[in-house]
A and B are shown apart, each in its own frame.
Chain A
Amino acid sequence: MMNAVGATPLIEQWSEAFRAVPQSAGPDWLQELRSEAARQFGVSGLPNRKTETWKYTPLRLLEQQAPSIEAAASASPANDDLPQTVVSASSGMVDILNGRLIGDLPETPPGLTLTPMADGFEAFGATLQRLLPAAELAGPANAFTALNTAFLDQGLIVHVAENTDGGSLLLRWSRLAETSARLDNFRLVVLLEAGAKFELIEQFESAPDSRGVLNVVTQVELAAGAQLGHVRVQRESEEATLLTKTTVGQAADSRYRYFGFDLGGGLVRHELGALLAGEGADTDINGAFVLDRKRHVDNHISVDHAATGCSSSQFFRGVLGGASRGVFNGRALIRPGADGSSVRQSNANLLLSPLAEMDTKPELEIYADEVEASHGATVGQLDETAVFYMRTRGLSEDESRRILTAAFCHAVTERLEDRDFAERIAGMFDAAMPGGLDSAGER
């Protein structure tokens, strides 16, 4: 392959790995798509500081570890070796270990089907042929989607039939410690037919010394009136990289509700784009994170209002201690003709340490009429008047700071409808809070 501008030893290494993959499974169009994707990442290379959407998220950790792309050895660990589940889901649990489906898929209620990607080309051929090539591959900003597509093998298709409540499903992503760092790709396709309802909960955890990259691309399609709740709870190791890219296509009156809770990870980036394509569609994207040490969390949210009377909300809260770094980029585009749209955005961040850094950028582009828009972004310290107020009621300074810091994230957990689950997540945030100003860098 020609050495392109962005080519690095890593790209060379991965291109080599691509050529070594036996191209057997799947239809012809998929082989072509894979080759095209491989060509794209070979040409564009990895995102760097000049790539606008990756400017604040350097890939040092990944470059240091130089993960290889190779299928993980099949493993069937004892359940005790896997992390505890954060919730008991009504429609069962799917285990994904080191980027591979393990164990049997759960028996699902009528209307909900779970299909491994390898088996999906029969049942969902036409949909996949439309959906998989729709993922953007060009340019360094999309390098990881291109990689994910080139190595497309492991994946899961979740389908909920028309006017059916598919209940809730837990995806338990785990990574065990391994001697060499790997980059694992996984494709998740979530299809809700008209009027369907579903809750998808994902938990991401890794063994304390596990390294490498998990690169998940998720494609969601919500038909008219469909409702999807989507929650991610992430507690990865300090050496682990997690990259997620989620695109949500929404037909009329559909509703998407997302909660991203990041309580760990080394380098974490969530890209989430919702396309409000049908009248009256609604998307509500929430996130909270607490970081210490040198952890890095980047939320790149983009909502595209392409129809009339749609509403969107982005609500993010971050607490940063140690030498951690956070990024929030919230874009909302109201296209011409998308009149009567409502768009809200709120992003507030608390810096607990002088070494922590937060980059936040709201981007509102409005080209339609009668649009209701509000946005606010803040980066600050704890309100010292509030600390004093609490002390005058008898609480110690440490306790006051701890309560105030945790409360910051509770603003997000409180938006969860399930009160028990909200309390459990709030408790996880409380436990993860850095003790206060004096404990910067410590958990």
Chain B
Amino acid sequence: MLKIKNLHATVGGKAILKGLDLEIGAGEVHAIMGPNGAGKSTLGNVIAGREGYEVTAGEVIYQGKNLLELEPEERACEGIFLAFQYPVEIPGVNNTYFLRAALNAQRKYRGEPELDSMQFLKLVREKLEVLHIGDDLLHRAVNEGFSGGEKKRNEIFQMAVLEPSLAILDETDSGLDIDALRLVAEGVNRLRAGDRSIMVVTHYQRLLDYIVPDVVHVLADGKIAASGGPDLALKLEEQGYTWLEQGGIKALKQEARA
């Protein structure tokens, strides 16, 4: 699904990613953990194509295509979805209108017929039911005045409607209380599928109690420092990132090898 090789990226002239390698197979859920400033959000933004994130070396191959050559909207149309850490409020743009315009833009790109408002509403109702979300979000402006939990649920709802092949959840747990976290995680779990890969970017292990990953990566100083199973997340939670920086990586690597 996704192959990243030796990725180097700078933000405002500062090197953030320094030779990152990562491979995610179809249907897999990978967690990217790491201390603040390690480059977690940069990775998500580089994959989504945000301006100001400059790739200086390496490659990102997605479904056999060179992702870095595509505009953000082309990446979206190819099936990449970034759930924002801070979903953007868009006053004056109705949530339903926005999502239908987005879905139809993607369908048009793929040569599929656009959905009229009745067809779209039917689809939306189905998705709301699957995610156990009320329809109150539909009638409001995109994220405007939403609580932290509502914003994150709206991201997952968008993901359900757009049905991406690769979803990147950037710190989806940040700012959520435990109930909201559980709701959002349940939503993500319902969207797990054999043809859909998910990258969960998080600082804390607790989200991974609810979204159990296949692989956990530790990102430190712009590189994947270690990779392992779900236990690796627990180990980090127990020991903290400071331990990691003070030589723990070596120990982890040996553990992983063993």
Q: Which residues of A does B touch, CB under 8 Å?
A: 383-386, 388-397, 399, 403-404, 406-411, 414
A to B CB contacts below 8 Å, 28 in the list:
A386-B88, A386-B89, A389-B87, A389-B90, A390-B90, A391-B72, A391-B76, A392-B49, A392-B72, A392-B76, A392-B81, A393-B102, A393-B162, A394-B102, A394-B105, A394-B162, A395-B105, A396-B73, A396-B105, A399-B105, A403-B93, A403-B98, A404-B90, A404-B93, A407-B90, A410-B92, A410-B93, A411-B91
Q: Which residues of A contact B103 (CB under 8 A)?
A: 394
Q: Which residues of A contact B87 (CB under 8 A)?
A: 389
Q: Which residues of B contact A399 (CB under 8 A)?
A: 101, 105
Residue pair B106, A394 in contact (C-beta under 8 Å): yes
Q: Which residues of A contact B73 (CB under 8 A)?
A: 391-392, 394-397
Q: Which residues of A contact B105 (CB under 8 A)?
A: 393-396, 399
Residue pair A408, B98 in contact (C-beta under 8 Å): no
Query: Quick one: closest B residue to A412, CB to CB?
Result: B92
Q: Which residues of B contact A394 (CB under 8 A)?
A: 73, 76-77, 102-103, 105-106, 109, 162
Q: Which residues of A contact B204 (CB under 8 A)?
A: none
Q: Which residues of B does A touch, CB under 8 Å?
A: 48-51, 71-73, 75-77, 81-82, 84, 87-93, 98-99, 101-103, 105-106, 109, 141, 158, 162
Q: A395-B102, A395-B105, A397-B73 are in contact. Are A384 and B90 (CB under 8 A)?
A: no
Q: Which residues of A contact B93 (CB under 8 A)?
A: 403-404, 407, 410
Q: Which residues of A contact B71 (CB under 8 A)?
A: 391, 397
The 5 closest A-B pairs by CB, nearest first: A407-B92, A393-B102, A391-B72, A394-B76, A389-B88
Q: Which residues of B contact A384 (CB under 8 A)?
A: 51
Residue pair A388, B92 in contact (C-beta under 8 Å): no
Distance between Cα atoms of A389 and B90 in the complex (Å): 10
Residue pair A385, B88 in contact (C-beta under 8 Å): yes
Q: Which residues of A contact B101 (CB under 8 A)?
A: 395, 399, 403
Distance between Cα atoms of A162 and B228 in the complex (Å): 81
Distance between Cα atoms of A404 and B75 in the complex (Å): 21
Provide the main secondary structure of the chain A interface. helix
Residue pair A388, B162 in contact (C-beta under 8 Å): no
CB distance from B72 to the nearest CB of A (A): 4
Q: Which residues of A contact B98 (CB under 8 A)?
A: 390, 393, 403
Q: Which residues of B contact A408 (CB under 8 A)?
A: 92
CB distance from B167 to the nearest CB of A (A): 11
Q: Which residues of B contact A404 (CB under 8 A)?
A: 90, 93
Query: Quick one: closest B residue to A396, CB to CB?
Result: B73
CB distance from B99 to the nearest CB of A (A): 8
Distance between Cα atoms of A404 and B142 in the complex (Å): 11
Q: Which residues of A contact B102 (CB under 8 A)?
A: 390, 393-395
Q: Which residues of B contact A397 (CB under 8 A)?
A: 71, 73
CB distance from B109 to the nearest CB of A (A): 7
Q: A388-B51, A392-B81, A394-B73 are in contact. Are A407 and B109 (CB under 8 A)?
A: no
Q: Which residues of B contact A385 (CB under 8 A)?
A: 88
Query: Quick one: closest A residue to B88, CB to CB?
Result: A389
Distance between Cα atoms of A406 and B94 in the complex (Å): 12
Q: Which residues of B contact A414 (CB under 8 A)?
A: 92
CB distance from B56 to the nearest CB of A (A): 21
Query: Quick one: closest A residue to B89, CB to CB?
Result: A386
Query: Quick one: closest A residue to B108, CB to CB?
Result: A394
Q: Which residues of B contact A388 (CB under 8 A)?
A: 50-51, 72
Distance between Cα atoms of A119 and B234 in the complex (Å): 89
Query: Taking each of A388, A394, A403, A411, which has the highest tally of chain B beta carbons within 10 Å of its own beta carbon?
Result: A394
Q: Which residues of A contact B92 (CB under 8 A)?
A: 406-411, 414
Distance between Cα atoms of A410 and B48 in the complex (Å): 29
CB distance from A140 to the nearest CB of B (A): 39
CB distance from A290 to the nearest CB of B (A): 13
Q: Which residues of B contact A409 (CB under 8 A)?
A: 92
Query: Quick one: closest A residue to B109, CB to CB?
Result: A394
Q: Which residues of B contact A393 (CB under 8 A)?
A: 76, 98-99, 102, 105, 158, 162
Q: Which residues of A contact B158 (CB under 8 A)?
A: 393
Distance between Cα atoms of A397 and B75 in the complex (Å): 13
Query: Taking each of B49, B93, B109, which has the highest tally of chain A beta carbons within 10 Å of its own beta carbon?
Result: B93
